[in-house]
């Protein structure tokens, strides 16, 4: 690892060109030769997760999945949304993109869940420590602004062609809002309420569980929503490295200059995006809001607060 | 010895900023708050005070005076830069976090300005929160929380969410949460400042009642002087991080330590703070019932007044007698003063506020009599004293202006009557008692 780097250094002295790319490549070579076992394990785990989720969505007949999704939409948002989604999902089936859409959904879910498993604890850490925040923030900036395609290259080398490099690139790309929103949410919790926990002798863990996380939940859920949306925006790029799904057809449409195919697959992405966005946005709101009618009834029973 | 006080603070400093130690040394060497501004912000400077068990101790100051920082050092939310804090005899400055949490659970709880309730929990669960942290089993903590909620007047609201309650009710939940924890010391940080004036008054009264029932030690922070005067057994006035005076409301009002305090108390409604005991005069025009009519008449002549208070055994106040009736008794040769005795028109207790003295003072020409709980006459408040106290001028009480009810019978008539009927030496039977 050291030798090629010093070699690059010699060439820099000769030509004046910074051999950044060569350094990265030599690190990559070092990692692939020495840590390939580790990456094989990761690959197996991610692949296993993806296959399991994919079986759930792509396995059963389409109408069962549509029924479940629409009923969930009815429960969370109401009949208008459910009706709109029913029409949208049937359209996806109509243009023969159903299987692709389910593969994509599975990829998005797996990538989002893993991204959140990393992002939320990291966000909690950065909310508690200014030092951690100062270190993590520039890294997140870097991850978010680096063109997403660039992640694909090492991901391909480390995880080989297939769905896993797509998942990995998606996770890296979608991680940042999860961390940022969690930090923002926890830092935004009313200081006095946290002080109240402290003043009654609650431990930091209890304050986190009983005060900070519940009160930060709407903001954290907004972060979850963003993570999912960014994941979805990565599916086309994931399609380029062989992750099956809507992205594959978009890429095919592009290479064959087949606008029709591209639009059919693209519509699928849009409909998934609308569904996931509206659902997670609704979940981010306080629980009572989900039952508008019941809540109105409850409000009537409640005596008006008297100015006692 | 440490348990003589519920809370003891001595030499407390809190300096925020990059170089607190350096700033501390300079402050201790006599530098002013402005001089060390480059090193840090001195929020609290050399604060020392003791709070007795069962006392309501008010810390009063304008915003930025350091009172919120001070109260947060008393339960360790802020670590003092220097100094010591003892709660129920235990030092809390510089102890490990776990020990500190233990003391907070057991000894000291807090009520917050903006209530600081958990919005995602019911009123009952909020009230039981401190008990939950203490590890009290669910059934017991619910029962105790219900009990306290009923005490603060929130019966029937247990299952509501805090957001469904008005501000006053939310603060009752905050108060219930702190009371339910059953700690000896209660810190209240501007607890009523966010409430409407009417509700604030009601809460203040309720707090005084609760304190009387439960005997908690309360340290109350406020910027409202009237609130401080109403609640405080003692008041510490803070300015620019320093405690400038500690004293009872009466002391702060009548004897301000410096111009700042004087200016501060300038606008206070004195009638609602000062008590009868604080302004009363020693009773001069008094006579023992057993001394008889002649003695009474003599006091009236010497004091040039038409009425005197009549005392029974143990200085208990029996009533008043008027000059004409006493004169008649003397002329008739009576030995007993009782036939002339009338009921005292105006009596108040020692802790009556001046605002409650206006009516009696207006109704009777006599000074208002101040009695203790055994009906013993402890002082009188002539109208002139009452007015002087309200105007915050030092009343110059002379024989002339103290007399509200001037003699209706000429002095020479009295003297003549005494001479005509009397034989005893004058001084022997006189009982003024005023300087006893």
Average pLDDT over residues B327-347: 83
A230-241 residue pLDDT tens: 999 888 888 888
B129 contacts on A by Cβ (under 8 Å): 200
Quote the mean pLDDT of chain B: 84
| pLDDT at residue number B381 | 86
β pairing state of B234-239 and B242-247: antiparallel
* Contacts for B16 with CB less than 8 Å, ≥ 6 apart: B40, B41, B43
Average pLDDT over residues A203-225: 92
| pLDDT at residue number B202 | 87
Domains belonging to chain B, first-starting first, are: 2-107+183-268 (3.40.50.300), 277-429 (3.10.580.10)
Would you place residue A26 in the very low, low, confident or very high pLDDT band (cuts 50, 70, 90)?
A: confident
Among residues of chain A, what percentage have pLDDT more than 70?
89
Q: Cα–Cα distance between B70 and B237 in angstroms, integer?
A: 12
A189 contacts on B by Cβ (under 8 Å): none
Q: What is the DSSP string of B289-356?
A: GGGHHHHHHHHHHHHTBSEEEEE-GGGBEEEEEEHHHHHHHHHTT----GGG-B--S-EEETT-BGGG
- The mean-pLDDT minimum among A125-134, A182-191, A256-265, B316-325 falls in B316-325
Please judge whether B153 and A201 are an interchain contact, meaning their C-beta atoms are less than 8 angstroms apart.
no
Q: Which residue in A has a C-alpha nearest to residue B113's C-alpha?
A: A192
Average pLDDT over residues A264-268: 90
Please judge whether A201 and B120 are an interchain contact, meaning their C-beta atoms are less than 8 angstroms apart.
no
Decide: A66 and A86 in contact? Cβ < 8 Å: yes
Would you place residue A143 in the very low, low, confident or very high pLDDT band (cuts 50, 70, 90)?
A: confident
Cross-chain CB nearest to A200 (options B113, B169, B181):
B181
Give the other-Cβ count within 10 Å of B373's Cβ.
8
Please judge whether A199 and B165 are an interchain contact, meaning their C-beta atoms are less than 8 angstroms apart.
no
Please judge whether A201 and B166 are an interchain contact, meaning their C-beta atoms are less than 8 angstroms apart.
no
Task: Indicate if the pLDDT at residue B420 is higher than 80.
Answer: no
Average pLDDT over residues A182-186: 95
A190 contacts on B by Cβ (under 8 Å): 114, 116
Q: Cα–Cα distance between B73 and B79 in angstroms, integer?
A: 6
Would you place residue B70 in the very low, low, confident or very high pLDDT band (cuts 50, 70, 90)?
A: very high
Q: How far does A211 lie from chain B, in Å, by closest CA?
A: 7
Q: Cα–Cα distance between B300 and A102 in angstroms, integer?
A: 109
| pLDDT at residue number A182 | 95
Secondary structure of residue B243 in the 3-state scheme: strand
Secondary structure of residue B42 in the 3-state scheme: strand
The side-by-side arrangement of strands in the sheet containing B234-239 is: B108-111, B185-189, B217-222, B56-60, B234-239, B242-247
Residue A122 or B286, more confident: A122
A203 contacts on B by Cβ (under 8 Å): 101
B351-409 residue pLDDT tens: 888 888 888 888 877 788 888 888 888 888 888 888 888 776 665 555 444 455 666 77
Q: Which residue in B has a C-alpha nearest to residue A195's C-alpha?
A: B77
Secondary structure of residue B368 in the 3-state scheme: strand
- Asked casually if ipTM beats, i.e. exceeds, 0.90, the reply is no
Please judge whether B164 and A305 are an interchain contact, meaning their C-beta atoms are less than 8 angstroms apart.
yes
Average pLDDT over residues A133-142: 92
| Residue B111 structure tokens | 């009520």
Average pLDDT over residues B338-350: 82
Please judge whether B133 and A190 are an interchain contact, meaning their C-beta atoms are less than 8 angstroms apart.
no
Give phi and psi for B8, each to the nearest 5: -125, 125
β pairing state of B108-111 and B185-189: parallel
Would you place residue B86 in the very low, low, confident or very high pLDDT band (cuts 50, 70, 90)?
A: very high
| pLDDT at residue number A294 | 41
**Three-class SS of chain A:** CHHHHHHHHHHHHHHCCCCHHHHHHHHHHHHHHHCHHHHHHHHHHHHHHHHHHHHHHHCCCHHHHHHHHHHHHHHHHCHHHHHHHHHHHHHHHHCCCHHHHHHHHHHHHHHHHHHHHHHHHHHHHHHHCHHHHHHHHHHHHHHHHCCHHHHHHHHHHHHCCCHHHHHHHHHHHHHHHHHHHHHHHHHCCCHHHHHHHHHCCCCHHHHHHHHHHHHHHHHHHHHHHHHHHHHHHCHHHHHHCCCCCHHHHHHHHHHCCCHHHHHHHHHHHHHHHHHHHHHHHHHHCCHHHHCHHHHHHHHHHCCCCCCC
Task: Indicate if the pLDDT at residue A185 is higher than 60.
Answer: yes
Angle at A59 between CA A57 and CA A65, to 5 degrees: 45
Please judge whether B168 and A211 are an interchain contact, meaning their C-beta atoms are less than 8 angstroms apart.
no
Q: Of B124, B119, B156, whose CA–CA distance to A308 is shortest?
A: B156
Please judge whether A201 and B105 are an interchain contact, meaning their C-beta atoms are less than 8 angstroms apart.
yes
B194 contacts on A by Cβ (under 8 Å): none
Q: How far does A301 lie from chain B, in Å, by closest CA?
A: 11
Among residues of chain B, what percentage have pLDDT more than 70?
92
Please judge whether A192 and B169 are an interchain contact, meaning their C-beta atoms are less than 8 angstroms apart.
no
Would you place residue B39 in the very low, low, confident or very high pLDDT band (cuts 50, 70, 90)?
A: confident
| pLDDT at residue number B44 | 92
Q: Cα–Cα distance between A203 and B101 in angstroms, integer?
A: 7
Please judge whether A192 and B114 are an interchain contact, meaning their C-beta atoms are less than 8 angstroms apart.
yes
Return the top range by mean pLDDT from A6-20, B103-117, B402-416.
B103-117
Task: Indicate if the pLDDT at residue B232 is higher than 60.
Answer: yes
Chain A residues near any Cβ of chain B (below 8 Å)? 190, 192-193, 195-203, 206, 210-211, 214-215, 302, 305-308
| CB burial of residue B110 (10 Å; 0-12, 13-18, 19+) | buried
B162-185 residue pLDDT tens: 999 988 899 999 999 999 988 999
Residue B38 or A54, more confident: A54
| pLDDT at residue number A207 | 94
Q: Select from A194, A200, A300, A303 the residue whose CB has the most chain B CBs within 10 Å, as the one to mutate to test that interface.
A: A200
Q: Cα–Cα distance between A134 and A141 in angstroms, integer?
A: 11
Structural element, H or E, at residue B105: helix B97-106
Decide: B283 and B347 in contact? Cβ < 8 Å: no
A201 contacts on B by Cβ (under 8 Å): 101-106, 130, 133-134
B75 contacts on A by Cβ (under 8 Å): 199
Q: Of B382, B432, B433, whose CA–CA distance to B405 is shortest?
A: B382
Q: Of B155, B415, B139, whose CA–CA distance to B300 is shortest?
A: B415
Q: Select from B129, B154, B163 the residue whose CB has the most chain A CBs within 10 Å, as the one to mutate to test that interface.
A: B129
Secondary structure of residue B115 in the 3-state scheme: coil
Please judge whether A199 and B75 are an interchain contact, meaning their C-beta atoms are less than 8 angstroms apart.
yes
| pLDDT at residue number A302 | 43
B298-311 residue pLDDT tens: 888 888 888 888 88
């Amino acid at each position: 690892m050291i030798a090629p780097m010093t070699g690059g250094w010699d060439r820099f002295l000769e030509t004046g060109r910074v051999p950044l790319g060569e350094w990265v490549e030599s690190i990559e070579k070092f990692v692939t030769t020495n840590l390939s076992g580790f990456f094989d394990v990761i690959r197996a785990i991610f692949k296993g997760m993806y296959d399991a989720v994919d079986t759930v969505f792509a396995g059963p007949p389409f109408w069962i999945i549509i029924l479940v999704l629409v009923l969930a939409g009815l429960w969370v948002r109401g009949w208008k949304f459910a009706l709109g989604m029913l029409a949208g999902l049937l359209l996806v089936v109509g243009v023969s993109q159903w299987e692709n859409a389910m593969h994509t959904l599975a990829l998005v879910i797996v990538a989002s869940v893993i991204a959140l498993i990393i992002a939320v604890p990291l966000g909690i850490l950065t909310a508690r420590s200014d030092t951690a925040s100062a270190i993590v923030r520039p890294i997140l900036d870097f991850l978010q602004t680096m063109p997403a395609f660039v992640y694909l290259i090492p991901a391909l080398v480390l995880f080989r062609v297939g769905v896993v490099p797509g998942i990995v690139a998606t996770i890296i790309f979608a991680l940042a809002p999860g961390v940022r929103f969690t930090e923002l949410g926890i830092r935004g919790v009313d200081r006095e309420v946290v002080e109240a926990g402290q003043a009654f002798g609650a431990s930091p863990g209890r304050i986190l569980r009983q005060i900070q996380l519940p009160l930060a939940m709407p903001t954290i859920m907004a972060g979850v929503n963003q993570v999912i949306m960014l994941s979805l925006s990565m599916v086309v790029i994931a399609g380029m490295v062989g992750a099956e799904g809507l992205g594959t057809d978009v890429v095919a449409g592009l290479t064959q200059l087949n606008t029709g195919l591209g639009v059919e697959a693209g519509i699928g992405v849009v409909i998934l995006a609308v569904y996931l966005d509206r659902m997670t946005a609704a979940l981010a709101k306080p629980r009572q809001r989900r039952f508008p009618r019941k809540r109105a009834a409850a409000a009537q029973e409640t005596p008006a607060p008297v100015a006692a | 010895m440490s348990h003589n006080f519920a809370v003891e603070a001595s030499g407390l400093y809190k300096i925020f900023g990059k170089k607190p130690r350096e700033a501390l040394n300079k402050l201790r060497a006599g530098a002013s708050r402005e001089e060390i501004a480059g090193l840090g912000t001195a929020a609290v400077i050399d604060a020392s005070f003791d709070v007795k068990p069962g006392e309501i101790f008010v810390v009063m100051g304008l915003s930025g005076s350091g009172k919120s920082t001070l109260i947060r050092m008393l339960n360790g939310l802020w670590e003092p830069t220097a100094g010591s804090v003892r709660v129920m005899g235990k030092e809390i400055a510089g102890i490990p976090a776990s020990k500190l949490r233990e003391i907070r659970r057991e000894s000291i709880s807090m009520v917050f300005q903006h209530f600081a309730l958990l919005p995602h929990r019911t009123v009952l669960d909020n009230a039981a929160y401190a008990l939950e942290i203490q590890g009290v089993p669910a059934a017991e903590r619910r029962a105790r929380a219900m009990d306290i909620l009923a005490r603060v007047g929130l019966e029937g609201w247990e299952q509501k969410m805090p957001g469904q309650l008005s501000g006053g009710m939310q603060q009752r939940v905050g108060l219930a949460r702190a009371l339910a924890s059953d700690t000896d010391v209660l810190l209240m940080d501007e607890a009523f400042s966010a409430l409407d004036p009417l509700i604030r008054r009601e809460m203040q009264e309720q707090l005084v009642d609760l304190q009387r029932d439960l005997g908690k030690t309360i340290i109350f922070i406020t910027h409202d002087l009237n609130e401080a005067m109403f609640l405080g057994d003692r008041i510490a006035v803070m300015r620019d991080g320093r405690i400038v005076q500690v004293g009872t409301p009466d002391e702060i009002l009548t004897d301000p330590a410096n111009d700042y305090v004087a200016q501060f108390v300038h606008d206070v409604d004195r009638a609602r703070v000062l008590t009868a005991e604080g302004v009363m005069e020693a009773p001069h025009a008094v006579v023992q019932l057993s001394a008889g009519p002649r003695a009474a008449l003599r006091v009236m002549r010497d004091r040039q007044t038409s009425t005197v208070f009549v005392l029974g055994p143990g200085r208990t106040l029996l009533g008043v007698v008027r000059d004409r009736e006493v004169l008649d008794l003397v002329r008739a040769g009576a030995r007993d003063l009782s036939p002339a005795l009338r009921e005292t028109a105006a009596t108040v207790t020692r802790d009556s506020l001046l605002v409650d003295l206006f009516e009696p003072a207006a109704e009777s020409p006599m000074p208002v009599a101040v009695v203790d709980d055994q009906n013993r006459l402890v002082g009188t408040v002539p109208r002139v004293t009452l007015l002087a106290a309200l105007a915050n001028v030092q009343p110059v009480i002379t024989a002339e202006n103290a007399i509200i009810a001037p003699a209706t019978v000429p002095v020479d008539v009295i003297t003549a009557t005494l001479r005509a009927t009397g034989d005893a030496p004058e001084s022997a039977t006189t009982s003024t008692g005023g300087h006893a």
